[in-house]
Amino acid sequence: MAWFHYLEKAGVRHAVRACWNVTDPANGLWSNCWNGLNGLFMKDNRTPQALYWVFERYAQMLGRTLATTSTTPGDVVALARNTSSDAAAAGTTKVLIGRFVSDTTQASAAAKSIAVHLQGLPAATTRARIEIQRIPYLRPDVQSGPDTTAQPLQNVEVVDRYTAKVVGGKVSAYLPAFKDRDAYYLSVD
């Protein structure tokens, strides 16, 4: 998720990804250069991996870009969009959030609770429906270790759905036990 954040912040409009060798119990060693669409799918080119869901949720984020900030920008980043082109209209806000400490042996890589505060909702808004989805990090980890095991993820995990009170154009959501390299997708309308 972090690369989407930093590519956007840098104004990059086009980018490519690298590919590598991975393993899985059913197929042994295989290259996701030729199968699996660079880590989005398993070798069968149909079964999604976790990375697929990050790309898919990012692709859903059409609309007006919203500013995001983080109290820990070195390990938590977010991208946000609103479906309404008019800042005074409600629309649906989509937020993609990722954690990336990089060195999973560091204490800062331990799971932690994160608060997400959305502001600038239209003044007339009193309640917001929030859905929180988790995209767990399942490997392969080609950057920091020898574990190149690819694992399927058939769908995202819906963590919570609820209606929250909006006060002064602000609403908050909480992500308990946010693990390093996981991603969360919030839909607020």
Return the domain boundaries, the chain: 2-9+19-188
Q: Is the pTM of this model over 0.85?
A: yes
Q: Tell me, what's the pLDDT at 165?
A: 96
Q: Tell me, what's the pLDDT at 50?
A: 93
Q: Bridge partners of 163?
A: 129
Determine if residue 76 is left, alpha or beta; phi over 0 gives left, psi from -120 to 50 gives alpha, anything else beta. Answer: beta
Between the CA of residue 25 and those of 20, 32, 159, 160, 164, what are the distances in Å?
Answer: 17, 15, 29, 32, 43
Q: Tell me, what's the pLDDT at 6?
A: 83
pLDDT in tens, 114-137: 899 998 888 788 999 999 999 998
Q: CATH second-level architecture of 2-9+19-188?
A: Sandwich (2.60)
Between the CA of residue 41 and those of 52, 61, 153, 175, 184, what are the distances in Å?
Answer: 7, 21, 9, 27, 19
Sort 175 into a burial class: Cβ within 10 Å, 0-12 / 13-18 / 19+: buried
CA-based end-to-end distance of the chain: 23
Strands 183-188 and 93-99: antiparallel
Mean pLDDT computed over every residue of the chain: 86
CB 49 within 8 A of CB 36: yes
pLDDT in tens, 43-89: 999 999 999 999 999 999 988 888 888 877 777 888 898 888 776 66
The two tokens of residue 74 are 């070195």
Asked if the model's pLDDT at residue 8 lies above 70, the reply is: yes
